[in-house]
Amino acid sequence: MLSKAMEKALNEQLNAELYSAYLYLSMAAWFESQNLPGFATWMRIQNREETGHAMKFFGFVTERRGRVTLQAIEAPAKDWKSPLAAFEAALEHEQYITGRIGELVNLAIKEKDHATNAFLQWFVNEQVEEEASVDKIVQKLKMAEKAPGALLMLDHELGKRT
């Protein structure tokens, strides 16, 4: 059985994952408005992944006989000043989420809740991957700033994400 504090913290993370999904969907809409459909495709897929993360929390809380309670999802930003600015915001957001996952692990350890700790380890590893994949695109966008045509090539490349 989950403690009340753990249940609350997991529900808050479910909300944070839904916010992540919402943020990336907003970025997808922005990239579409900038005529960069490949970047938009990448963000659409990111949106789906984040929804999947939220559903993992939904499933785990339910399985542990906790109660899932849904809160309002904050409205995300809708404009960024460049593709680089959008991806830098995405990286900053992923770093924030990594910090939150770390806090959840700390709570699980404090409560000696081994099942929740084990569940959270998937997210610990996932965040390493998430930060690395976003950072890679940030670095490419920095290089693209100095090379005309590079942005369109990158758009083509990111559009191949499945």
Stretch near Fe ion under the rule CB under 5 A, chosen from 30-38, 107-115, 124-132, 150-158? 124-132
Considering the complex, what minimum distance in angstroms separates the CB of residue 124 from Fe ion? 12
On whether the CB atoms of residues 64 and 1 are closer than 8 A, the answer is yes
Token pair listed for 45: 């897929």
Conformational region of residue 160, where left means phi above 0, alpha means psi within -120 to 50, and beta covers everything else: alpha
Contact between 113 and Fe ion by CB under 5 A: the answer reads no
Stretch near Fe ion under the rule CB under 5 A, chosen from 24-32, 62-70, 112-120, 126-134? 126-134
User: Reduced to 3 states, what is the DSSP secondary structure of residue 39?
Assistant: helix
Stretch near Fe ion under the rule CB under 5 A, chosen from 48-56, 77-85, 104-112, 138-146? 48-56
On whether the CB atoms of residues 26 and 77 are closer than 8 A, the answer is yes
The 16-35 contact track toward Fe ion, x by CB under 5 A, reads: -x------------------
How many residues line the site for Fe ion (CB under 5 A)? 4
Binding test (CB under 5 A) with Fe ion, winner from 130, 144, 151, 158: 130
C-alpha R_g of the chain: 17
- Whose tokens are 């699980």? That residue is 108
**Rounded distance between C-alpha atoms, residue 100 and residue 149, angstroms:** 38
> 17 or 151: whose CB is closer to Fe ion?
17
Q: Minimal CB distance to Fe ion: which residue?
A: 53
**Rounded distance between C-alpha atoms, residue 37 and residue 41, angstroms:** 6
Considering the complex, what minimum distance in angstroms separates the CB of residue 37 from Fe ion? 22
* Interface positions with Fe ion (CB under 5 A): 17, 50, 53, 130
